[in-house]
Amino acid sequence: MPVPNNSIYVTSLEEVPVNVTVPVGVNPTSDSVFMAFLSVPPPSQPASEDWNAASWFTGVGNQYTAICLVGPGGTIQLTQGYWYVWAKISASPEVPVKYAGILQVS
């Protein structure tokens, strides 16, 4: 689950994408997706209050993209630094939580 765009400016308002690979034949877009941004590196995992609503942007084959609007006026505003990005999909019966990578905010 890499974070494709791994750098944004603190003053920028933009969608931060996370690529999600699912089993062939599975379409997760009807499932709720969430993203968390932590300043503490893994193995620290997000707590329930860390999750932010995200949405599905696109999907082709078994590759999908979850997005969260980050920046002033967005779903979450981050300060300068390095943020560890996580994604969670609320599917039934599974609720996978995956570490996605590092986002640099300058």
47 in a structural domain: yes
How many domains would you assign to the chain?
1
| pLDDT value of residue 61 | 86
pTM of the entire predicted model: 0.92
Task: Label residue 35 exposed, middle or buried (CB < 10 Å: 0-12, 13-18, 19+).
Answer: buried
CATH number at residue 62: 2.60.40
CA–CA distances in Å: residue 67 to residues 43, 46, 80, 93: 23, 17, 20, 23
2 in a structural domain: no
| pLDDT value of residue 4 | 63
Parent domain of 12: 7-105
| pLDDT value of residue 59 | 81
81 in a structural domain: yes
- Provide the residue-wise pLDDT of the chain in tens; the chain has 106 residues: 667 668 999 999 999 999 999 888 889 999 999 999 999 888 899 999 999 999 999 888 889 999 999 999 999 999 999 999 999 999 989 999 999 999 999 9
44 in a structural domain: yes
| pLDDT value of residue 15 | 96
